[in-house]
Amino acid sequence: MNNRQLLYALLVAGISLGTAWAIRGQFGHEQGAAWAGGIGGLSIVLIAKRKDWYAKAFQLALASAAGWGVGGIISYGKVVGFARGLEFGNVYYGLLMLGIIGGLFGLIGGGLFGLTLASSRQKPVQWPQLIAEMTAGAIIFYYLLIEELGWLMTPPRSEAWAACFGMAVAMFWYMIRSRQYSAMRLAVFAGLGGGFGFAFGNFLQVMGSVSGIHFNFWNVMEYSIGFFGGVGMAYGTFTSEWETTDEQATPYSLLAPIIILTLIPFIVWDQSFETKRLVETIQSFDPLANAARIASGVQWVALLLLFAFGAYTLFAYHFRLKNGRSELGYDGIQVFFFLNLGLYTIYSLLITCAFMSLYRIEQYLYILNMVALGFMMQKTQASFSDRGLNISRWAINFVFIIAIFAILTAVAISTHGELNGANVRFE
């Protein structure tokens, strides 16, 4: 594979998921992570430009959304605080745990995306069996690690990371038994990217706090996990071998993914656009404004945009296909990608009320990212190579990343005194 071509493809994938994940910081939880994950998965389909993937583009977006979204149950606010401390052991622990949390996001998100890519008529993924095994893995490992062994990562908050760890173990066991090696490689690199990105992003956040620059450096951390997670997922995809399939998109095969991908923004609207939150945001920078009326207007605009997005998606990708007036190709998928990311960007501008004030300058960077993707996406053409499984190399990479965390820890604690929000895990 041409290295320059590969780097360009990885950059586009990183910007795609990085932008969506930074936006996700305004919404949080499972639904925010799922929306971002779906955008990241869809970007890889567009970069690959493989016609046999277009038929299941929506299924791929849904798989990526489900995998990255599951990680949204993990609590990491206290862990971020560990990495803002002064003592080497606590800070290093914080970065390592953020690496594990980000790794679980990427492992499950990349794994389900890869299994969907690999599934074919000749070698189908047994989804009911996989879901049952991952559910059992979550229950077993949570009970074993938390209830029995008491391995608490972030007391007194939720220890749902253990459930996600059990899901990842069960998913890999399924991959090994079914010989889904390409999906396994994709999951590993998505996990490495997400893990490194989260820890490195927190290091950047600490450095930003020390610098005194007025900027939302929490958002920088969110962008980092998305960027490196997207890079890892794309690298795992483009350096693996995937069977060419002859599946065709049908209106009924697309209906369920379309409905679910539309419901995710609805859940985000329902859970995030609360009147109290909007009123407090507006009053924080304009005490004289009619905050209640503006908040109501924001809520209705967000809901109407959602209805318009859902109606267009159903019309363009279900009813038009049903009537034989179109087929699912690159242009149609690209339109959905930018509409989806565009709606997420508008939601971020609305929820922060950045359309009224310049107090959240990072919000406008999302628009610049979208413009950049508009220029770059069409010109990006990924080629594929098969680099197989190299477990010894992966182990070396893992050790190398752990060593980098130690260096980042030493640098971080030497640059600041006590920071707001610092937590102590070990006395």
> What are the pLDDT digits (tens) for 99-148?
999 999 999 999 999 999 999 888 899 999 999 999 999 999 999 999 99
Q: Does residue 237 lie in a domain region? A: yes
Lowest mean pLDDT among 136-140, 143-147, 190-194, 241-245: 241-245
Amino acid 35: pLDDT: 96
- Residue 320, domain extent: 3-125+180-413
Q: Which one-letter DSSP state was computed for residue 72?
A: G
> What are the pLDDT digits (tens) for 285-306?
888 788 999 999 999 999 999 9
If one counts every other C-beta atom within 10 angstroms of the C-beta of residue 7, the result is 12
Q: Does residue 132 lie in a domain region? A: no
Q: Does residue 131 lie in a domain region? A: no
Largest CA distance in the chain: 67
pLDDT band (50, 70, 90) for residue 325: low
Query: Looking at the predicted structure, is the pLDDT value of residue 419 above 90?
Result: no
Q: Does residue 172 lie in a domain region? A: no
Amino acid 424: pLDDT: 87
Domain count within the chain: 1
Find the DSSP H helices in 239-290. 251-272, 275-285
Q: What global pTM score does this model have?
A: 0.94
What does residue 193 show for φ and ψ, rounded to 5 degrees?
-65, -45
Peptide bond between residue 156 and the one before it cis (omega within 30 degrees of 0): yes
Question: Which residue in 51, 94, 49, 90 sits closest to 76, CA to CA?
Answer: 94
Q: Does residue 107 lie in a domain region? A: yes
- Contact criterion met (CB below 8 Å) for 150 and 178: no
Please give the Cα distance from 72 to 67 (Å, whole number): 9
Amino acid 358: pLDDT: 82
- Contact criterion met (CB below 8 Å) for 321 and 254: yes
- Mean pLDDT calculated for residue range 267-282: 94
Q: Does residue 162 lie in a domain region? A: no
Counted residue by residue, the chain has a size of 427
Give Cα 143 distance to the centre of its chain: 27
- Mean pLDDT calculated for residue range 217-244: 95
pLDDT band (50, 70, 90) for residue 63: very high
Q: Does residue 150 lie in a domain region? A: no
Q: Does residue 32 lie in a domain region? A: yes
